């Protein structure tokens, strides 16, 4: 498969507004990483599951990234707050923004776009 062929991630219906994320695995700069996809204001977004404070996964409760308002992504470790649509750090001990992964939503399916730095896991 060509590295720039979008990779199927999930059905559109699996991503509800401000709801649980859909996790997936990627290789980022040669390192295996978890990633997650969410829906916010109708659009799908995905990021590496790696906080900018300490390189830890953000969710303690699996796939729960949104705060109670459904407006912000939270790191459960020390409370870094990220904007769901850009991944930009907006509060707490974050240092910069989350690594964004481009998604394509069409025909009821969400796919992610590999890049030179972001590759699919080869089993």
* Residues in touch with ligand FES (CB under 6 A): 51, 53-54, 56, 75, 77-80, 92-93
- Identify which of residues 89 and 114 has a Cβ nearer to ligand FES in the complex: 89
Q: 10 Å Cβ neighbour count for 86?
A: 13
**Nearest alpha carbon to residue 15 among 37, 48, 32:** 37
- Identify which of residues 6 and 92 has a Cβ nearer to ligand FES in the complex: 92
DSSP string of 56-73, one letter each residue: --S-SSTT--B-TTSS-E
- Identify which of residues 19 and 93 has a Cβ nearer to ligand FES in the complex: 93
Those residues whose C-beta lies under 8 Å from the C-beta of residue 74, and which sit 6 or more positions away, are 58, 65, 66, 67, 80, 81, 82
Q: In whole angstroms, how close is the CB of 23 to ligand FES at the nearest point?
A: 17
Q: In whole angstroms, how close is the CB of 82 to ligand FES at the nearest point?
A: 10
Q: In whole angstroms, how close is the CB of 89 to ligand FES at the nearest point?
A: 9
């Amino acid at each position: 498969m060509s590295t720039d062929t979008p990779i199927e991630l999930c059905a559109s219906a699996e991503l509800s507004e401000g709801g649980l994320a859909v996790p997936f695995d990627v290789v980022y700069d040669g390192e295996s990483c978890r990633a997650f996809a969410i829906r916010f204001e109708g659009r799908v977004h995905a990021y590496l599951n790696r906080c900018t404070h300490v390189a830890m996964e953000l969710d303690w409760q699996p796939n729960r990234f949104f705060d109670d308002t459904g407006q912000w992504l939270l790191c459960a470790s020390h409370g870094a707050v990220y904007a769901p649509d850009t991944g930009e750090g907006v509060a707490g001990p974050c240092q910069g923004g989350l690594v964004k992964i481009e998604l394509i939503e069409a025909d009821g399916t969400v796919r992610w776009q590999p890049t030179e730095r972001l590759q699919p896991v080869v089993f």
